[in-house]
Structure 1
Amino acid sequence: MPTIAGFEDLFDRGREVGYVLMQDIEDLYEEENEVLDTGKLAIVRQFLESSNIDLLDSESEILRPDDEVEATERADADGGSIQADPVWQYLKDIHDIPLLTAAQEVDLAQRIESGDETARQQFTLSNLRLVVSIAKRYVGRGLSLIDLIQEGNIGLMRAVQKFDWRRGYKFSTYATWWIRQAITRAIADKGRTIRLPVHVSEALTKLNGVQQRLTQELGREPTDEEVADELGLDVVRIRETRLASRLPSSIDQPMGDDEDASVGDFVMDRTEPGPEGVTHERMLRQEAERTLETVLNEREKMVLEMRYGLGDREVFALEKIGEKLNLTRERVRQIEAQALRKLRDPEISRKLREYLTA
């Protein structure tokens, strides 16, 4: 990393948005009274490239023509027209909106403070390309690019509302935080079938960023130990965080090209008995029913079945059983007690216990 003071902060911002402006590099060297010669610039370029950060001459390059080409190719691949692709149409709509100079930002911010809605709209529209550049870095996290852009635009509007021009910093630097926050929270809330807590989602974002940077620096995938050391966490925590990032799969998802077969057809349900268990349970039930029929009379058998839900019957209170059998509650209780006394015979109890504990 270049050793000039302030570069680390500039580098951190560049990692967040994916680019660093040439003007910011020049201003940094000028503030430190150092000459940005060809050799130093080459070192800066090489370091940024190794970290997958673009060095742009101006913010007008944030939305590159390549974005339109990619959207066009995607529309063609999907069999639709260019105009049918909402991302392509959006990029086309915002491409010609002029960016603001520092003086224009201050002027518009002052007018916004006075309640000028036209100024607020112009300020917002002029920074839509910044949202696109940030949103593109979150593709593949559960939301489509157009949804990421929409969420980022909400963060942009919040930044426009809260921007304090008196502090002297560029709006893009300030807005980046609000845009990222809006996008990451939307991913946490809407990007997954099972919602992750915000702190877990933020930990994943940080982990992925460190992993990408170490991959660039080392020229290979970093080990869990190296990532843990960089983040100051233990390896177990790193692995648990990675597990949380796994997306759930539907058990009804088709298997291969066979639309009639799903994942569920090949997953064993351990809560249900297998064929042998079902057969064993049926035999025990039949044995228990034969035992009851042998020991009890018909009325006693019916009372116990309704009282305890035997034979898949519904469980009833004494009053309900009495209504069904046209007996008083007390008489039903007496029949129940009489039947239970008969079943307390050791041999009969053993047979019934096998059924009840199966």
Structure 2
Amino acid sequence: MMEKKRRPLPGSISTPTAAEATAAPVKERRRRRSGSPPAATTAPETMTAITAPVATDVRTRVLTARHPDRDKAQNTHQVQIEVDEEFATEVAADAARPIEQILKETHDYASVGDPVRMYLSEISRHALLTTLQEVSLAEELHAGLAAASRLRWADLTDAERATLEQLVQKGNAARWRLVQSNLRLVVSIARRYLSRGISFLDLIQEGNIGLLRAVEKYDETLGFRFSTYATWWIRQAVSRAIADQSHTIRIPVHVTENINRQTRLQYQFMQELGRKGTPEEIARAMEFLSVEDSAAIEAAHASGQALPPALEQRWQRAAARVRELARASEEPMSLESPVGSDNNSYLGDFIEDNGMLGPADETNRQLLREQMRDVLAALTDRERRVLEMRFGLNDGISRTLEEVGLEFGVTRERIRQIEAKALRKLRHPMRSRRLRDYLSS
């Protein structure tokens, strides 16, 4: 953890320490990088490394960028990056292995075609960087950015302009050296996201975008290796791409992050307890409940007491969120998906349509239509049409007395009288007997 610099008290004389003297060139380099002219009142940007607890037992440091001389309203907006050093070390070691071994292992999980083989063979030509090389290249990159900024706004002589242009060229070369030497890191991370609905090459391309972002943001003065810092940006780019592109129905990024958390927790439950966690357990582990509610649940379980109704209701609401995440993570299946090795059958051929009638029911319906037609033949044409419209015998749409009256040009009372007269005729035993068996069935 880096100690935050303290300002001297008003009126006191401060003597620069060894750390402050060492940091002076860093401050000047940052000033040049930002492109601002030298000024005595310009305070440097300080970077503080903060150790923050996380849900899993992984050592994670959160980098927070603060600007002391900005007002408090602006200072509340901070950029935090969780640097998972354990994971970064793992993927960096994986990227340093021979490319043939990586290719063989990748072939076990994905269909590796000629484009992937060619790409992996090409990036294997670029050697990995040492720590000193990373720091040197980062300094050249930042010097080039500062020079490019001065070229835009400063009034320069021809000699100064030529010098700055050389710095810009060296900065661009340093940028691409950093990128090319870490392309294998992207492959190592992308391999961990196979079978997520995106091809291996697309995962690599999205990770390369994150790598470019990391090169622009990297600060060598923090004490991190570049691979440790870039891992966060690469994982973020790949995760966002999976959230945006892998599902037929797009799932918001924050929901995808919760789904991934739920998947990791289920894996932990299987490793530690030998079973999947219940929705209630997952809800507590994902902190869908407040700290007070979780403590109250723990205390109630320890004492064997029942939970208060209000607390039980909040817990069930949190468990319902877990069930919704599980449903959201389900992938839709196409009814045109082939089934079997011959590919002559499709999934839709084996799914029952509950809206379709069986042969026996369809026969009974056809016989009922014929009997209804014979029974209605005893009515006048107007009575038959009124009953057909009122009960939807033809199109299944029942109409009101007023709608039928408008159709015939009479009042709704007159339609009611015609309907009652027609129904009395149908209730005659000679006619009703023919339909009674269908009504009972």
Question: What is residue 152 of structure 1 aligned with on the other side?
Answer: 207
Deviation of residue 278 (structure 1)?
2.5
The partner residue of 1:330 within 399, 402, 409 is: 409
Alignment pair present for 1:61 and 2:103: no
SS in 2 for 1:159: helix
The partner residue of 1:137 within 192, 208, 220 is: 192
Paired residues of 1:193 and 1:248 also in contact (CA < 8 A): yes
Paired residues of 1:62 and 1:129 also in contact (CA < 8 A): no
SS in 1 for 2:409: helix
Paired residues of 1:159 and 1:175 also in contact (CA < 8 A): yes
- The structure where helix makes up a greater share of residues is 1
Alignment of 1:1-358 (within 5 A): 9=59, 13=84, 16-17=87-88, 20=89, 53=90, 56=93, 61=96, 64-69=99-104, 85-100=114-129, 101-115=134-148, 116=168, 118-119=172-173, 120-209=175-264, 223-224=276-277, 228=282, 241=325, 244-295=328-379, 297-302=380-385, 305=388, 309-312=392-395, 330=409, 339-345=418-424, 347-348=426-427
Q: Which residue identity does 2:137 align to in structure 1?
A: Q
Paired residues of 1:108 and 1:123 also in contact (CA < 8 A): no
Question: 1:333 and 1:98 mapped to 2: Cα distance?
Answer: 91
TM-score w.r.t. length of structure 2: 0.53
Change (3 A) 1:284 1:214: closer
Change (3 A) 1:293 1:280: same
SS in 2 for 1:205: helix
Q: Note the alpha carbon deviations across 1:163-186, whole angstroms, 9 max, x for none.
A: 344544333222222221221122
Question: 2:257 and 2:105 mapped to 1: Cα distance?
Answer: 29
Question: 2:325 and 2:109 mapped to 1: Cα distance?
Answer: 33
Structure 1 residues not aligned, in runs of 5+: 1-5, 21-52
Question: 1:335 and 1:118 mapped to 2: Cα distance?
Answer: 91
Paired residues of 2:338 and 2:344 also in contact (CA < 8 A): yes
Question: What is residue 67 of structure 2 aligned with on the other side?
Answer: none
Question: 2:86 and 2:426 mapped to 1: Cα distance?
Answer: 78
Deviation of residue 200 (structure 1)?
3.6
Question: 1:300 and 1:90 mapped to 2: Cα distance?
Answer: 81
Percent of counterpart pairs with the same letter? 37
Q: Note the alpha carbon deviations across 1:23-80, whole angstroms, 9 max, x for none.
A: xxxxxxxxxxxxxxxxxxxxxxxxxxxxxx4783xx86066331234568999xx8xx
Deviation of residue 197 (structure 1)?
3.6
Question: 1:149 and 1:340 mapped to 2: Cα distance?
Answer: 73
Question: What is residue 23 of structure 1 aligned with on the other side?
Answer: none
Question: 2:323 and 2:361 mapped to 1: Cα distance?
Answer: 38
Paired residues of 1:71 and 1:88 also in contact (CA < 8 A): no
Question: 1:222 and 1:110 mapped to 2: Cα distance?
Answer: 55
Higher CA-based Rg: 2
Change (3 A) 1:197 1:14: same
Deviation of residue 136 (structure 1)?
0.6
Q: Which residue identity does 2:424 align to in structure 1?
A: D
Paired residues of 1:300 and 1:335 also in contact (CA < 8 A): no
Question: 1:271 and 1:328 mapped to 2: Cα distance?
Answer: 32
Deviation of residue 273 (structure 1)?
3.0
Q: Which residue identity does 1:118 align to in structure 2?
A: N
TM-score w.r.t. length of structure 1: 0.63
Change (3 A) 1:65 1:277: same
Change (3 A) 1:277 1:328: closer
Question: 2:427 and 2:223 mapped to 1: Cα distance?
Answer: 91
Paired residues of 2:266 and 2:277 also in contact (CA < 8 A): no
Paired residues of 1:131 and 1:156 also in contact (CA < 8 A): yes
Question: 1:166 and 1:54 mapped to 2: Cα distance?
Answer: 22
Change (3 A) 1:96 1:356: farther
Question: 1:340 and 1:194 mapped to 2: Cα distance?
Answer: 51
Question: 2:107 and 2:383 mapped to 1: Cα distance?
Answer: 79
Superposition CA RMSD, Å: 4.9
Change (3 A) 1:60 1:135: closer
Paired residues of 1:251 and 1:263 also in contact (CA < 8 A): yes
SS in 2 for 1:105: helix
Q: Note the alpha carbon deviations across 1:261-318, whole angstroms, 9 max, x for none.
A: 33333222223333333333333333333333222x2355356646875323899999
Deviation of residue 231 (structure 1)?
5.9
Change (3 A) 1:108 1:222: farther
